[in-house]
Amino acid sequence: MSRKLKRSFYARDTLVVARELIGHHLVYVHEGHKMVGRIVETEAYQGPEDLAAHSAGGHRSPRNEVMFGPPGYAYVYFIYGVWHCLNFVTREHGVPHAVLLRALEPVTELPGKTNGPGLLCRTLGLDRRHNGLDLTGDVLYVEAPKNKPQPLIQTSPRVGIGDKGEATVLPWRFFDTRSPFVSGRRTRPSEP
């Protein structure tokens, strides 16, 4: 039997949450159909100091408002006029941190690709309507599977954030090197 994660899981250090999500199952229940994918890649964003975060410099807008709220809620945004991206709000209320889900390994049959943040949202049918969903509810949540295979986790700089100064090279991307569903680069940077 799997165990749904509680809000206390998300109300912790964002880097710890991003790492520990690897191997857990993302569950989305839509029209009675349960879609499940094993989380195999994440990225941590820690504004306002993190220049790659949507909350960099304390920037607050209708788009990122959910990041400033309590932990354990979905932050879904639209990017490049094409893709939706799913994030989990972490830390305590007022601290705008989040973890981006970058890739899922299918557990149940999924109707498309899941090896990228936009692809996994498209496959699951997640969009701005899901922004602000409570991750402790019954629609979108994360489970700790009973027989969780041990991931082999590596880190690298985050993907596709452009030149954000020192934030560009921070090793805040976590991925399971054993999964063929990881998107992008698989190499670990040299340690500073």
Residues 6+ apart with CB under 8 A from 62: none
Look over the chain and give the mean of its residue pLDDT values, rounded to a whole number: 94
Per-residue pLDDT at 59 exceeds 60: yes
User: What φ, ψ does residue 106 adopt, rounded to 5°?
Assistant: -55, 135
> Which helix (H) or strand (E) is 9 found in, with range?
helix 7-10
| CATH numbers and ranges of domains, the chain | 3-176 (3.10.300.10)
Q: Which two tokens stand for residue 6?
A: 């509680």
Q: Which of 53, 30, 25, 10 is nearest to 126 (CA)?
A: 30
User: Mind listing the pLDDT tens digit for each residue in 7-33?
Assistant: 999 999 999 999 999 999 999 999 999
Whether 1 has a pLDDT exceeding 80, the answer reads no
Taking the model in full, what pTM does it have? 0.94
Model confidence at 174: pLDDT above 50: yes
The Cβ of residue 189 has, within 10 Å, a number of other Cβ atoms equal to 14
Q: Which residues contact 19 (CB under 8 A, 6 or more apart)?
A: 42, 153, 174
In one-letter notation, the amino acid at residue 100 is L
Instruction: Locate all alpha helices (DSSP H) within 4-146, ordered by sequence.
Output: 7-10, 14-20, 117-124
